Amino acid sequence: MRLVQLGEVALPDTPRAMVLGRAAERRAARFASARDRDEFVAGRIALRRFAAELLAVDPSRLTPDYSCPQCGPGQDHGRPGFMLDGGPAPLVLSASRASGWVLLAGVVHPAEGLRLGVDLEAVSRVGFEGFDDVALTAGERRLIDAAPEEERDAQRARLWAQKEAWLKMTGDGLRLDPTAVDVVNRPGIQDLGAVGGRPLPDGLVAALALG
């Protein structure tokens, strides 16, 4: 079963230390901005609840277990996962936050080796001078140049969301130069114009990568 969910970031009443895990709690304490910290905490709590809903279990049975391809398990970053009653939960998960919203995706009882990545982007964040030079391939820049000027930022954001989703799926993240990854017509990536039958909020774009 695969499910994608979009929701507004909101802090619940549950004490965060009870659900974040030690690694994420330490990361939360390092945020200089209270708003950024609260959005990080709320997103992590939302993902735990989402995983519990997919598995039809109480969230208290899930313990965060994030793993980074470079740093190993037990991290505050990397590929999200959970332990269920002491063993790995049968899930692959991905999450992304932007502009006060959180996008969550998961597959229950995935086939062996299945990978997942999802990304949510604000169009307003990609229109700065020099973005294309550091984020896009030559082929992607040609696609932008061919679009009407008023549509170019939205197209940039869609390409970037696809690229981020792909790099999350592969586990490479931004350790890999994004200008070396062309996502135009790449199999396994899809735009998410709507989630749960509802259009995305204005100014946001999203993508899902599965492979």
Residue 51 near residue 89 (C-beta atoms within 8 A)? yes
Q: 8 - beta bridge partners?
A: 101
116 closest CA partner among 80, 70, 54, 168 = 168
> pLDDT grade, residue 3 (50/70/90)?
confident
Give the pLDDT score at 39. 85
Contact between residue 104 and residue 116 where contact means Cβ atoms under 8 Å apart: no
In angstroms, rounded to a whole number, what is the distance separating the alpha carbons of residues 202 and 78? 28
Question: pLDDT per residue over 118-140, tens digit each?
Answer: 999 999 999 888 999 999 999 99
Q: What is the pLDDT of residues 42-70, one digit of tens each?
A: 889 899 999 999 999 999 999 999 887 77
164 and 179 Cβ atoms separated by less than 8 Å: no
Which position has the higher pLDDT, 119 or 12?
A: 119
CB–CB of 98/121 below 8 Å? yes
The pTM score is 0.90
Tell me which H or E stretch contains 3.
strand 2-8
Rounded-to-integer distance, Cα 70 and Cα 55, Å: 28
- Report pLDDT digits (tens) over 133-190: 999 999 999 999 999 999 999 999 999 999 999 999 998 887 889 999 999 999 999 9
Q: Provide the sign of the torsion angle of the four alpha carbons 182, 209, 174, 172, taken in this order.
A: negative
